[in-house]
Structure 1
Amino acid sequence: MTTPEEHPNAHTTVVVVGGGYAGVVAANRLRVDPGVAVTLVNPRPAFVERIRLHQLLTGSDDARVDYAHVLSADVRLLVDTADRIDASTRTVALGSGATIGYDYLVYAVGSTGAADVPGVAAFARSVSDWESAQALRAALARIDPGAPVVVVGAGPTGIETAAELAEQGRAVTLVCGGVLGPYFAAPARRAVARRMRTLGVTVVEGPGTTAVEVRADAVRLADGRLLPSAITIWTAGFDVPDLAARSGLTTDAVGRLLTDETLTSVDSPFVVAAGDAATPSGQPLRMSCQAAMPLGAQAANTVLSRIAGTPPATVEQAFTGQCVSLGRRGAVVQLAHLDDRVMPVYLGGRAAAAVKELVCRGTIAFLAREARTPGSYVWLKGGKRANSLAAVESAPAR
């Protein structure tokens, strides 16, 4: 158990499980109240820039940032895994065998790659986490540059991975399982298709193109075609860790923690969720960094409000679209309404690539600023920039 001696000046202990975008924002923001002792539990000693993992494959970025740059010095980083949450005793059993107690817990475990098709677990590679991407990079280095690589899934991860590898001269086939870039409006989709042709990516789309089996040397499609593959990269869908379900907490069918509109678990007022693994009132937001960071801030606000004895605000999220890299010299920025409905408007080419790089760098800058100045992060809410620290500011002096 964590003892009071470890945080002698604290009146409240908060444990944040998960050190991704949502968890880091939440941990930093909780330091708005200097009497809150925050411990971040994460299995890795460095922050992973998940939105750059496709760059790790080709060596244009290592997709990691030192936590000292993005995490408040007042937040204790505990490099360990969370094996089970006991909401009744407010403790977390760790992989190391230790147990840590909490007054409040922020559940921000993120998401993982899905593997629900025959052969995926045995023969496919993933780019959904740093370790998998690093192993994939090593596997790519062992095959001939002209050997066929099949990327399954034509969402942002699949498109970015296919383009990144093709730009390096790899022979890439992208299996769409339907439509290339299903989020995109038609003009942006056409732009992506043109860029894929320029890079030499073979795009397999339309009816019957769902991958139904992965073999050691091929991918079988629903229409019976076999696509030769020296390496198959599976990016078709995401899953979430089963920590909440293993802990007896209520989840949705996918395994995301079920919360109310303040991101509070329906099972315990002392457990609050954020990011990909949260489902407010059974209506999860699109899994993305764009949603994770505002959700992390709002989860922290909920905890701070409860500590202050004020009603927490309901969650609000607005989207602006989606940025997708198409190699180092191209990208598409699909614009959207605040409710995430796409517009028939996009930015492409080198200008879009510059915007995408600016977004990636800006994300780290936001985290670093929140680490230095807790409460500074703002997000779009109802079309306006939001912060929502009024409840905290009205807290009685301690």
Structure 2
Amino acid sequence: MTLADLAMPALRDSRLDGLPVAIIGAGPIGLAAAAQLHERGIDFVVYEAGATVASSMASWGHIRLFSPWEFLIDPAARRILVTTGWQEPETARLPTGSELVESYLLPLAATDALAPHIVTGATVEAVSRQGMDRTRSTGRDSTPFVLRMLHADGTHDEVLARAVIDASGTYATPNSLGSSGLDPLGLPAVADRVSHALPDVLGTDRMRFAGRHVTVVGAGHSAANTLLNLAELARQEPGTSVTWAIRNRSAVRVLGSADDELQARASLGARVQQLVEAGEITVIDRFEIASLEDAAGRIRVIGTRDGNHFETDVIVNAAGFRPNLDLLREIRLNLDDIVEAPRALAPLIDPNVHSCGTVEPHGFAELQQPEPNFFIAGMKSYGRAPTFLLATGYEQVRSIAAWLAGDETSARAVQLTLPATGVCSTSSTAGCC
């Protein structure tokens, strides 16, 4: 699909009149989309599965981001916030996830511009067209979207929308521990001893890991952050030991580059390497997981090579994330066969070619799907690629909002300045660096 093939959105059909744009997810990108639509005078509703906005980010709030505040605030959101007397954080400082939520996202969600339009505790289970499955074409672009909702009290209902921006992220859908991409055989028997990425091992999750043999699986920045915290825990809690299991000979991507302007990220790999060399972290390389077994309360991790196994007490799955596409079964999508990103975007974000800072600016044209007025934005738009930066997502939704407003000139004028980077992670920090 080329730019010439794209027609302006049909949002003024009588069946669409009065309907809002539905935004799935109240994280940084979903709230930025809301701010951009507000400035355009377009009605919207944001649906957030968590009890509060940015619930996924709050769950890894102990992690410090790689980007300084300068790159973490959406321009439209900033313009809304300054009218409330909000004080912008120091631009050069690196916030934690919790600081980003508390100092930026919660104040933004509480503004008069956004608060009346945010629904929390509302999980979007499916998206379709009203009375039309994906096989029916006649009148499709003038038929409202229908979103099936599961609310916190267990009830279901359906809501209508004239357009949809899916900014639901990927943190809730981690990649499998299995080298095949499938869950390892035997996982249900030991699932209670397998942790999601980025546990708070020095804080709320401390007792789960203290005094135990912990294995981190994955070779990206999520793994590196957890390894650093586990090494500190091992110094504080006798009996704690740390193993790092990776599929390749070395974790090349997490070692970073001297050219990386995000110094917090550039130093991460070096710090992990120092711990490996000091014997504080044991590395098992070229290990691919085939199955897991309960071994008298421990986990026996069995590799794909005969007789290749080891035992551990707890596993941290830091193998990256993937988009949840189940809710979009009735939506017509055109996704790349490899990374599951929008097909026009995939060549621009291929992690074998691009780092976070070398991704070209892109907007509605690369994100638009065969389903008219449906967009995947933010980390979810990158599919399984780990090279996402918040600033990139902010420009995505600025372009989408302009397109939905009928401002074709602004929608196509996609511009973005990012810090120069080295090689990005194979598993970015919860999709937000």
> Common fold, TM-score beyond 0.5?
yes
CA contact (8 A) 2:323 2:384 kept: no
Kindly provide the amino acid, as one letter, of the partner of residue 163 in structure 1. L
Does 2:73 correspond to 1:73?
no
Kindly provide the amino acid, as one letter, of the partner of residue 42 in structure 1. E
The change in CA–CA distance for 1:309 and 1:24 in structure 2 (over 3 A counts) is closer
Aligned pair partner of 2:223 in 148, 158, 167: 158
Number of residue-to-residue matches in the alignment: 305
Q: Which residue of 2 aligns with 1:215?
A: 293
Shift, 1:139, TM fit: 6.6
Q: Name the structure where strand makes up a greater proportion of residues.
A: 1
Deviations 1:58-98 (A, max 9, x none): xxx78483553233432211110111112443221111322
Aligned pair partner of 2:34 in 27, 33, 56: 27
Kindly provide the amino acid, as one letter, of the partner of residue 271 in structure 1. F
CA contact (8 A) 1:272 1:303 kept: no
- Which segments of 5 or more consecutive residues in structure 1 lack a partner in the other structure? 1-9, 322-334, 343-355, 364-398
Shift, 1:161, TM fit: 0.9
Kindly provide the amino acid, as one letter, of the partner of residue 274 in structure 2. R
Q: Which residue of 2 aligns with 1:303?
A: 401
Kindly provide the amino acid, as one letter, of the partner of residue 393 in structure 2. L
Aligned-partner SS, 2:43 = strand
The change in CA–CA distance for 1:293 and 1:13 in structure 2 (over 3 A counts) is farther
CA contact (8 A) 2:378 2:396 kept: no
Identity %: 16
Does 2:412 correspond to 1:287?
no
CA RMSD of the aligned region, Å? 3.8
Shift, 1:266, TM fit: 2.4
Does 2:164 correspond to 1:105?
yes
Deviations 1:174-230 (A, max 9, x none): 11111224353577655531144448111222xx32233233322223443322211
Q: 1-side partners of 2:25 and 2:343: how far apart? A: 17
The change in CA–CA distance for 1:41 and 1:136 in structure 2 (over 3 A counts) is farther
Aligned-partner SS, 2:148 = strand
Q: 2-side partners of 1:135 and 1:251: how far apart? A: 39
The change in CA–CA distance for 1:148 and 1:183 in structure 2 (over 3 A counts) is closer
Q: 2-side partners of 1:194 and 1:259: how far apart? A: 40
Deviations 1:127-176 (A, max 9, x none): 348xxx47997775156x22211111121111111211221123110111
Q: Which residue of 2 aligns with 1:226?
A: 309
Q: 2-side partners of 1:308 and 1:248: how far apart? A: 23
Deviations 1:35-60 (A, max 9, x none): 2222111111132463972837xxxx
Q: 2-side partners of 1:307 and 1:158: how far apart? A: 41
Deviations 1:103-125 (A, max 9, x none): 22111121120122414465352
Q: How does 1:230-309 map to 2 (within 5 A)?
A: 230-252=313-335, 253=337, 256=341, 262-278=365-381, 286-288=385-387, 290=389, 292-309=390-407
Q: 2-side partners of 1:287 and 1:78: how far apart? A: 29
Q: 1-side partners of 2:58 and 2:424: how far apart? A: 22
Q: Which residue of 2 aligns with 1:366?
A: none
TM-score normalised by structure 2 residue count: 0.59
Kindly provide the amino acid, as one letter, of the partner of residue 230 in structure 2. L
The change in CA–CA distance for 1:225 and 1:294 in structure 2 (over 3 A counts) is same
Does 2:175 correspond to 1:114?
yes
- Which segments of 5 or more consecutive residues in structure 2 lack a partner in the other structure? 1-16, 64-95, 130-142, 177-181, 235-239, 259-265, 346-363
CA contact (8 A) 2:395 2:414 kept: no
The change in CA–CA distance for 1:241 and 1:295 in structure 2 (over 3 A counts) is same
TM-score normalised by structure 1 residue count: 0.64
The change in CA–CA distance for 1:105 and 1:122 in structure 2 (over 3 A counts) is farther
Q: 1-side partners of 2:221 and 2:215: how far apart? A: 15
Q: Which residue of 2 aligns with 1:313?
A: 412
Kindly provide the amino acid, as one letter, of the partner of residue 295 in structure 1. G
Aligned-partner SS, 1:168 = helix
CA contact (8 A) 1:255 1:277 kept: no
Does 2:196 correspond to 1:127?
yes
Deviations 1:221-264 (A, max 9, x none): 34433222111111113221124542333253465555676244
Q: 2-side partners of 1:209 and 1:90: how far apart? A: 45
